[in-house]
């Protein structure tokens, strides 16, 4: 029994060490992931030239600002002008956010557009800037 208890205690200690290590890695500056960029797309309730208007908010949840952020946007079709300082189309169905400048925590990129449907704006690239 003593051997089984020691093995169980060792397993618990190793598990806790792994959790602590992973948390330390997450909190380490520069350890940002694309999943730290949260995307929210909601209809505003407005209609522009017969198309629903959407408000997109992209928030950086990483402790470090992230720059050169690109998202999938399918060319970002819109019947109304889009703020190109917030999002600008590029080749290959991608869009550059915030003119490539850093997006810090607490300062989301927000823009509106009007089209039949909304792309998912899945983040494809970001460079942590710590």
What single string gives the DSSP state of each residue in 13-69?
Answer: HHHHHHHHHHHHHHHSTT---GGGEEEEEEEEEEEETTEEEEEEEEEE-SSS-EEEE
Cα separation, 19 vs 91, in Å, equals: 41
Helix (H) or strand (E) holding 94: strand 94-97
* Strands 87-89, 94-97: pairing kind: antiparallel
Cα separation, 111 vs 53, in Å, equals: 10
Mean pLDDT on 28-38:
83
Condensed to tens digits (0 to 9), the pLDDT of residues 4-26 reads: 555 454 444 434 333 343 444 44
Condensed to tens digits (0 to 9), the pLDDT of residues 68-112 reads: 999 999 889 999 999 999 999 999 999 999 999 999 999 999 999
- Tell me: pLDDT of 50 over 50: yes
pLDDT band at 49 (very low <50, low <70, confident <90, very high): very high
- Judged by average pLDDT, the poorest of 25-34, 85-94, 115-124 is 25-34
What are the backbone dihedrals phi and psi of residue 34, each rounded to the nearest 5 degrees, phi first? -60, -30
pLDDT band at 30 (very low <50, low <70, confident <90, very high): low
pLDDT band at 129 (very low <50, low <70, confident <90, very high): confident
pLDDT at 6: 56
pLDDT at 130: 83
Cα separation, 63 vs 97, in Å, equals: 18
Chain centroid to CA 10: 37
∠ CA 123-105-41 to the nearest 5 degrees?
A: 45
């Amino acid at each position: 029994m003593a051997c089984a208890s020691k093995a169980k205690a060792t397993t618990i200690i190793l598990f806790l060490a792994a959790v602590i290590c992973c948390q330390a890695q997450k909190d380490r500056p520069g350890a940002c992931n694309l999943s730290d960029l949260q995307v929210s797309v909601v209809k505003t309730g407005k209609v522009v030239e017969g198309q629903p208007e959407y408000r997109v908010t992209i928030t950086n949840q990483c402790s470090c600002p992230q720059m050169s952020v690109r998202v999938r946007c399918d060319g970002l079709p819109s019947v109304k002008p889009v703020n190109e300082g917030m999002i600008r189309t590029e080749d290959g169905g991608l869009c550059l956010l915030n003119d490539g400048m850093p997006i810090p925590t607490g300062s989301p990129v927000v823009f509106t557009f009007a089209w039949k449907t909304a792309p998912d704006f899945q983040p494809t690239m970001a460079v942590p800037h710590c």
